[in-house]
Structure 1
Amino acid sequence: MPALVIHDWPLPYEERLAARPSAAIDLVVIHCTELPDMTLAREFGERIHYEGSRTGNSGHYYIDTDGAVSRFVGDLRVANHTYSYNPRSIGIELVNLGRYPHWGDSRHQEFSVPYTPEQIASLRALLGRLRHDHANLRWIAGHEDLDRRLEPAKDDPSILLRRRQDPGPLFPWDEVVPESGLERLKPEP
């Protein structure tokens, strides 16, 4: 397997994100961008969502469909990627359509695009690097495992949908978890 190359591409507000020690990191959260490409993922990551801190929502790492890895936020900064789990976790986003552009439409909730072999190979290499760099890293979870909040569907508000369903049913957990040396974290609902 070729050496993992990480392209540093810090978000403009990275320095405004809270700092943390490596010892605080015990969890990796796997996400799906639910966007068509890295360009839109970057655009979304640069948007300011929190006026007080002038920061936005972003994972730490992004893995494109060709396996290229970009770091938007350094490990020792708290990125805003998973409600209630940010201070202890590293977020890894895999570029994938997910439910794009119908996230909130109850008629379009299927994930239909598989993750590429290149993405999974890069993810496995990145997980190995993170385990080496952070001694307390023990857990891995999907965004869907941790954020179980519901919201009304845009097409029919009487239907409640899970806000987060990524990385979704096409993510190869059985291929990734056993090799990672991490345990799957699935909190009680």
Structure 2
Amino acid sequence: MSDVIHWPLHYVEALAPRALTAIDLIVLHCTELPDLASAREYGERVLYASGAGNSGHYYIDRDGRSYGFVPDARVAHHVRGHNEHSIGIELINRGRWPHWLDSRHQDMAEAYSEAQIDALRTLLLDLHAHLPNLRAIAGHEDLDRERVPASDNAQLSVWRKRDPGPRFPWDWALHDLPLQRLHPATTQD
């Protein structure tokens, strides 16, 4: 994966090791933050007694540059219930930022760039080539289906996670790739 800029988080040694054969799933995310610097700052935050935080393995900026924050052989905290067997790929995208849970701001209007999707396709092919059991891909929204009270009105509920969101071009991104999409989301309102 020569196109990936390796930029490991300071706590990678605190993340649990795993065999590459344990990995069978890719989970796509969008950062729901304004830029790569904000995503890096968020990923650097220590949130657990182990000394680790929440982060994907790879981040792809709008210009197509790809960054490796966590090695594949480490378990990153990026999606509930699936971390031990998945790779998290984060696409830099505003999503619902900065009103993530406000019921009046649930649109995810930013499109993904052509450079991002091209870089994602390249990364997916590379991962498939070196992870022997990689077979499936899902969006964060496909795996985390929890609704939570809206921040502006607790009587309303919103999806906790909507990424990569309705603007993500699944057909384009997965065209001719050897990965099966798992758990397609039902329409999220």
Query: After superposition, what is the alpha-carbon deviation per residue over 1:39-85, rounded to whole angstroms, capped at 9, x for unaligned?
Result: 000000000111x2111000000000000000000001000000000
Query: After superposition, what is the alpha-carbon deviation per residue over 1:75-100, rounded to whole angstroms, capped at 9, x for unaligned?
Result: 01000000000000000000000000
Q: In the comparison of the two structures, how many residue pairs are matched? A: 186
Structure 1 residue runs of 4+, over 3 Å off?
none
AA aligned opposite 1:10: P
Q: How does 1:68-83 map to 2 (within 5 A)?
A: 68-83=65-80
In structure 2, what is the Cα distance between the partners aligned to 1:26 and 1:186?
Answer: 14
Q: How does 1:113-128 map to 2 (within 5 A)?
A: 113-128=110-125
> 103, 107, 112: which is aligned to 1:110?
107
Asked if 1:91 is matched to 2:88, the reply is: yes
In structure 2, what is the Cα distance between the partners aligned to 1:149 and 1:99?
Answer: 16
Whether the 8 Å contact between 1:4 and 1:122 is mirrored in structure 2 is: no
Deviation at 1:188, TM superposition (A): 9.1
> What corresponds to 1:16 in structure 2?
14
Q: Determine what percentage of the aligned residue pairs are the same residue.
A: 54
Q: How does 1:24-173 map to 2 (within 5 A)?
A: 24-50=22-48, 52-173=49-170
The gaps in structure 1 that reach 5 residues or longer are none
The gaps in structure 2 that reach 5 residues or longer are none
**More displaced, 174-183 or 141-150?**
174-183
- Helix, strand or coil at the partner of 1:28: strand
Whether the 8 Å contact between 2:142 and 2:185 is mirrored in structure 1 is: no
Instruction: Give the TM-score of the pair, scaled to structure 2.
Output: 0.95
Deviation at 1:187, TM superposition (A): 7.4
Q: CA RMSD in A?
A: 1.4
Instruction: Give the TM-score of the pair, scaled to structure 1.
Output: 0.95
